[in-house]
Amino acid sequence: MEKIPMTRAGFTALEEELKALKSVERPAVIKAIAEAREHGDLSENAEYHAAREKQSFVEGRIKELEAIISRAEVIDPTKLSGSVKFGATIKLVDEDSDEERTYQIVGEAEADIENGLLNIRSPLARALIGKDEGDSVEVRTPGGDKSYEILSIRFI
Protein backbone atom coordinates (compact mmCIF):
# COMPACT_ATOMS: atom_id res chain seq x y z
CA MET A 1 0.00 0.00 0.00
CA GLU A 2 1.21 3.45 -0.91
CA LYS A 3 1.88 5.75 2.04
CA ILE A 4 0.02 9.06 2.13
CA PRO A 5 2.26 12.02 3.03
CA MET A 6 0.70 14.30 5.61
CA THR A 7 1.65 17.07 8.02
CA ARG A 8 1.11 16.65 11.77
CA ALA A 9 -1.70 19.24 11.68
CA GLY A 10 -3.47 17.43 8.85
CA PHE A 11 -3.15 14.06 10.59
CA THR A 12 -4.52 15.50 13.84
CA ALA A 13 -7.48 17.09 12.03
CA LEU A 14 -8.40 13.76 10.41
CA GLU A 15 -8.12 11.95 13.75
CA GLU A 16 -10.42 14.52 15.36
CA GLU A 17 -12.96 14.19 12.56
CA LEU A 18 -12.92 10.40 12.92
CA LYS A 19 -13.37 10.63 16.69
CA ALA A 20 -16.34 13.02 16.27
CA LEU A 21 -17.97 10.74 13.69
CA LYS A 22 -17.63 7.69 15.95
CA SER A 23 -18.58 9.33 19.27
CA VAL A 24 -21.17 11.93 18.19
CA GLU A 25 -22.52 11.40 14.67
CA ARG A 26 -22.86 7.60 14.69
CA PRO A 27 -24.85 7.45 17.98
CA ALA A 28 -27.07 10.37 16.82
CA VAL A 29 -27.92 8.58 13.57
CA ILE A 30 -28.67 5.32 15.37
CA LYS A 31 -31.02 7.21 17.70
CA ALA A 32 -32.72 8.94 14.74
CA ILE A 33 -33.26 5.58 13.01
CA ALA A 34 -34.78 4.10 16.17
CA GLU A 35 -37.14 7.07 16.57
CA ALA A 36 -38.17 6.92 12.92
CA ARG A 37 -38.93 3.18 13.21
CA GLU A 38 -41.42 3.95 15.95
CA HIS A 39 -43.51 5.94 13.46
CA GLY A 40 -44.66 2.74 11.78
CA ASP A 41 -44.66 1.90 8.06
CA LEU A 42 -41.05 2.18 6.88
CA SER A 43 -41.89 2.24 3.17
CA GLU A 44 -43.38 5.76 3.38
CA ASN A 45 -41.34 7.05 6.32
CA ALA A 46 -39.21 9.99 5.10
CA GLU A 47 -37.43 10.43 8.45
CA TYR A 48 -36.37 6.79 8.42
CA HIS A 49 -35.01 6.98 4.86
CA ALA A 50 -33.17 10.26 5.60
CA ALA A 51 -31.61 8.77 8.74
CA ARG A 52 -30.53 5.62 6.85
CA GLU A 53 -28.98 7.78 4.13
CA LYS A 54 -27.09 9.80 6.74
CA GLN A 55 -25.95 6.57 8.39
CA SER A 56 -24.59 5.37 5.06
CA PHE A 57 -22.67 8.64 4.61
CA VAL A 58 -21.25 8.57 8.17
CA GLU A 59 -20.15 4.93 7.92
CA GLY A 60 -18.56 5.58 4.51
CA ARG A 61 -16.64 8.58 5.83
CA ILE A 62 -15.47 6.58 8.87
CA LYS A 63 -14.10 3.84 6.58
CA GLU A 64 -12.44 6.44 4.34
CA LEU A 65 -10.77 8.21 7.28
CA GLU A 66 -9.60 4.93 8.83
CA ALA A 67 -8.00 3.95 5.51
CA ILE A 68 -6.24 7.31 5.14
CA ILE A 69 -5.01 7.34 8.74
CA SER A 70 -3.71 3.76 8.50
CA ARG A 71 -1.59 4.70 5.46
CA ALA A 72 -0.52 8.14 6.66
CA GLU A 73 3.15 9.02 6.77
CA VAL A 74 3.47 12.08 9.00
CA ILE A 75 6.26 14.37 7.80
CA ASP A 76 7.62 17.16 10.01
CA PRO A 77 8.40 20.15 7.75
CA THR A 78 10.56 21.79 10.47
CA LYS A 79 13.18 19.08 9.90
CA LEU A 80 13.44 19.94 6.19
CA SER A 81 15.27 22.69 4.31
CA GLY A 82 16.46 23.67 0.84
CA SER A 83 14.41 23.73 -2.32
CA VAL A 84 10.63 23.31 -2.50
CA LYS A 85 9.37 19.92 -1.34
CA PHE A 86 6.48 18.46 0.65
CA GLY A 87 5.67 20.59 3.69
CA ALA A 88 7.29 23.77 2.36
CA THR A 89 5.50 27.07 2.81
CA ILE A 90 6.10 29.11 -0.32
CA LYS A 91 5.44 32.80 -0.89
CA LEU A 92 4.76 33.46 -4.59
CA VAL A 93 4.10 36.52 -6.69
CA ASP A 94 1.99 36.31 -9.84
CA GLU A 95 4.25 37.83 -12.49
CA ASP A 96 1.27 39.24 -14.40
CA SER A 97 -0.81 40.79 -11.61
CA ASP A 98 1.87 41.24 -8.87
CA GLU A 99 -0.54 39.48 -6.49
CA GLU A 100 1.28 37.69 -3.66
CA ARG A 101 0.07 34.36 -2.27
CA THR A 102 1.39 31.94 0.31
CA TYR A 103 0.83 28.19 0.11
CA GLN A 104 1.96 25.16 2.08
CA ILE A 105 2.39 21.98 0.05
CA VAL A 106 0.44 19.24 1.84
CA GLY A 107 -1.03 15.80 1.18
CA GLU A 108 -4.19 15.26 -0.80
CA ALA A 109 -6.31 14.43 2.27
CA GLU A 110 -5.56 17.75 3.99
CA ALA A 111 -5.50 20.08 0.97
CA ASP A 112 -7.67 23.20 1.22
CA ILE A 113 -6.79 25.85 -1.36
CA GLU A 114 -9.00 28.46 0.35
CA ASN A 115 -6.77 28.20 3.43
CA GLY A 116 -3.49 28.09 1.52
CA LEU A 117 -3.03 24.30 1.75
CA LEU A 118 -1.93 23.19 -1.72
CA ASN A 119 -2.39 19.56 -2.80
CA ILE A 120 1.01 18.04 -3.65
CA ARG A 121 -0.54 16.55 -6.80
CA SER A 122 -1.86 19.89 -8.10
CA PRO A 123 -0.28 21.42 -11.22
CA LEU A 124 1.11 24.36 -9.22
CA ALA A 125 2.70 22.16 -6.55
CA ARG A 126 4.23 19.86 -9.18
CA ALA A 127 5.71 22.90 -10.95
CA LEU A 128 7.16 24.23 -7.67
CA ILE A 129 8.80 20.99 -6.46
CA GLY A 130 12.59 21.22 -6.69
CA LYS A 131 12.66 24.97 -7.34
CA ASP A 132 14.52 27.58 -5.24
CA GLU A 133 13.92 31.16 -4.12
CA GLY A 134 14.03 33.55 -7.06
CA ASP A 135 13.06 30.89 -9.60
CA SER A 136 10.16 31.47 -11.99
CA VAL A 137 7.67 28.74 -12.73
CA GLU A 138 5.19 28.37 -15.57
CA VAL A 139 1.94 26.59 -14.69
CA ARG A 140 -0.83 25.51 -17.02
CA THR A 141 -4.09 26.03 -15.14
CA PRO A 142 -7.72 25.62 -16.20
CA GLY A 143 -7.85 29.43 -16.44
CA GLY A 144 -4.80 29.61 -18.72
CA ASP A 145 -1.03 29.71 -18.32
CA LYS A 146 0.32 31.49 -15.22
CA SER A 147 3.83 32.62 -14.30
CA TYR A 148 4.95 32.85 -10.67
CA GLU A 149 8.18 33.87 -8.99
CA ILE A 150 9.17 32.20 -5.73
CA LEU A 151 9.79 34.94 -3.15
CA SER A 152 10.53 32.71 -0.15
CA ILE A 153 10.59 29.10 1.00
CA ARG A 154 10.09 28.27 4.66
CA PHE A 155 9.72 25.01 6.54
CA ILE A 156 7.55 25.73 9.58
Q: Are 77 and 88 in contact (CB under 8 A)?
A: yes
Where among 24, 54, 74 does a domain terminate? 74
What is the rounded average pLDDT of the residues 22-28?
A: 96
Q: Which residues pair with 93 in a beta bridge?
A: 100, 149
On whether both 146 and 123 belong to a single domain, the answer is yes
How many domains does the chain divide into? 2
Give me the pLDDT at residue 92, please.
Answer: 95
Give me the pLDDT at residue 110, please.
Answer: 93
Give me the pLDDT at residue 148, please.
Answer: 94
68: Cβ contacts below 8 Å, ≥ 6 apart: 4, 14, 109
Where among 74, 98, 121 does a domain terminate? 74
On whether both 108 and 150 belong to a single domain, the answer is yes
Give me the pLDDT at residue 54, please.
Answer: 94
On whether both 70 and 114 belong to a single domain, the answer is no
Where among 74, 91, 125 does a domain terminate? 74
Tell me the pLDDT tens digit for each residue of 129-146. 999 999 999 998 888 889
Tell me the pLDDT tens digit for each residue of 99-128. 999 999 999 999 999 999 999 999 999 999
CA distance 89 to 77: 9
Give me the pLDDT at residue 124, please.
Answer: 92
Q: Which residue range(s) make up the domain with 149? A: 77-154
On whether both 9 and 47 belong to a single domain, the answer is yes
